Chains A and B, each alone.
Chain A
Amino acid sequence: MSPKNSVGVVAAQRVRFDEPIVLKSGAVLPGFELAFETYGALNAARSNAVLVCHALSGGHHVAGVYADRPKDLGWWDNLIGPGKPLDTNKFFVVGVNNLGGCYGSTGPLSINPETGKHYGADFPMVTVEDWVAAHARLANHLGVDTWAAVIGGSLGGMQALEWSLQFPDRIRHAMVIASAPKLSAQNIAFNEVARQAIISDPDFRGGHYAEHGLVPTNGLRLARMVGHITYLSDSQMGEKFGRQLRHGEHRFSYDVDFEIESYLRYQGDKFAGFFDANTYLITTKALDYFDPAYAYNGDLAAALARAKARFFVASFSTDWRFAPARSREIVFALLHNQRHVAYAEIDCDAGHDSFLLDDAHYHAVLRAYLENISV
């Protein structure tokens, strides 16, 4: 990508909210901080703001680079910038780190004012609904009454959907990509394996590892390895790694024989080096609990009746974590309510991770939809 299409050097900001927030679990946080970034400029009518919601491991650094870390590219930089599909010449784009995160927003690694120690395991569980409630405070802080769009992939898509339900009048377009209206038993099962990997790591210390100067590295690493398998498609993994051998021969040991083992270990190590284990636990539980139809006896159409936004829904052909059928559930629930929705099923071989790639057709579809959003 040529530098002229980049938002360039960006800086994270932070805002503190002192009014207590009552979480869905009933727990109360006396106040909290959110880390965020913005790109482009809010127009005079304040009608061009787009919120980008992150998935499991993402954060507020969505586009551009930091002055002191020129290689630290935002996680959706291929989408966002001047002239890119989410065009910062047109839109004021906001990235935010969710409450309970580990990139600067208040989370388990923050200091609990009541104890003077890291929250650790004492940080309350947060839900997708809580995140959206927190985002709304950020919107107020930024002077955004109504988002032109809220966009996200995977867990980020759930937040876009939740925005349309919790604040129907504050979001004009919900862009829900590679997402689902709730997790399946299989999805929850994978999350549980990841959590057990972390919790059973001796360095986890009941979640209070930070107090002891420890990190449950092995658990986090395993959690990421399991997760990573579900982000890729079988065919892509086969194409990329196949049964390629690291050393050109079977070594009859538990060290790396096959390239796929090396890849997963690398991804696991990298992730364990920067991500917080408690945030991982909280985030996977937020995924598990998300189910807007739960309060409506499982009737998703009834749950979505509140939504007023126009929807863009997209899925990917080889995504087996949140398969196209899951997106179609959202689409048909919207149809039942006679809501505006455009649904694209993108042919892409990269599995769940496709939503992060710059597949030409996928980006053309996003560009077309975003270009028609009036500001």
Chain B
Amino acid sequence: MNFTAKERERFDFAVIANWIPPAERVLDLGCGDGRLLRYLRETKGVTGYGVEIDPQSVLNCIRNDVDVIQIDIERGLSGFENQSFNHVIISQALQAMHATERILGEMLRVAEEAVVSFPNFAYRANRAAIAQGHMPVSENLPYQWYETPNVRFFTIADFEALCGKLDIKIRERLAFDENGQEVNDDPNLNGSLAFYRLGQKT
């Protein structure tokens, strides 16, 4: 049985919240309508800011009483000071940004640890869709190819290769299938959503 959108969101939030100690300072990049930050504020007592470029999302953040900063992350995080946050989060937004390498580097400049989640394009169902001749559309990839905000299509294997290239240390990885079951066996094939804790190599 598949999750409803709301259950799925709660699930995503819970996975991330589990990695965020109480009362931390958090920066959420591509924060959408700010619901994750609000959730973290209400459940973990975190403080922090969301960053968003989409005007409607910024409006929704303000409605949600979330501190949001409307800037274009693609141009870097130059106003944010080094190590000024405990955690920086990018929840299912990295695939919608062009400057992947730069953003990952900037994240670990401004925070001690980065939490990244993204849909795995090599998930079994996505491979099946391609095998049948179509771009995948699923709960974790809910867009048709002609309307998707996603611009970077990558897999768990690809992402980990990039982390290696950028000297980013993967501290922890969790992968889940579409039913929210944790996947340990061949996550690049069986994982629909991937979550990472990332740090700098020391």
Contacts and interface: CB of A to CB of B under 8 A. Distances in A.
Contacts of A346: 55
A24 interface: no
A364 interface: yes
Given A335-B49, A336-B81, A342-B61, A328 B55 contact: no
A241 interface: no
A340 interface: yes
A332 interface: yes
A365 B79 contact: no
Q: How large is the interface on A (under 10, 10 to 19, 20 to 34, 35 or more residues)?
A: 20 to 34
A364 B62 CA distance: 10
A347 interface: yes
Interface in A291-328: 328
A344 B66 CA distance: 12
A372 B65 contact: yes
B59 A342 contact: no
Contact of B67 (A340, A347, A364): A340
30 contacts: A328-B79, A331-B79, A332-B79, A335-B49, A335-B69, A335-B80, A335-B81, A338-B47, A340-B67, A341-B67, A341-B69, A342-B61, A342-B66, A342-B67, A342-B69, A343-B71, A344-B58, A344-B59, A344-B62, A345-B70, A346-B55, A361-B55, A361-B59, A365-B59, A365-B62, A368-B62, A369-B62, A371-B63, A372-B62, A372-B65
A166 B63 CA distance: 29
B107 interface: no
Nearest to A364: B59
Contacts of A335: 49, 69, 79-81, 84
Contacts of B65: 372
Nearest to A332: B79
Contact of B62 (A328, A338, A342, A345): A342
Nearest to A328: B79
User: Interface extent on B, as a size class?
Assistant: 20 to 34
Which 8 A-B residue pairs are closest in the complex by CB-CB distance? A332-B79, A368-B62, A368-B63, A345-B70, A343-B69, A372-B65, A344-B70, A369-B62
B29 interface: no
Contacts of A361: 55, 59
Contact of A345 (B47, B71, B79, B81): B71
A361 B57 CA distance: 11
B67 A338 contact: no
Nearest to A314: B70
Contact of A343 (B59, B63, B70, B81): B70
B68 to A, nearest CB: 5
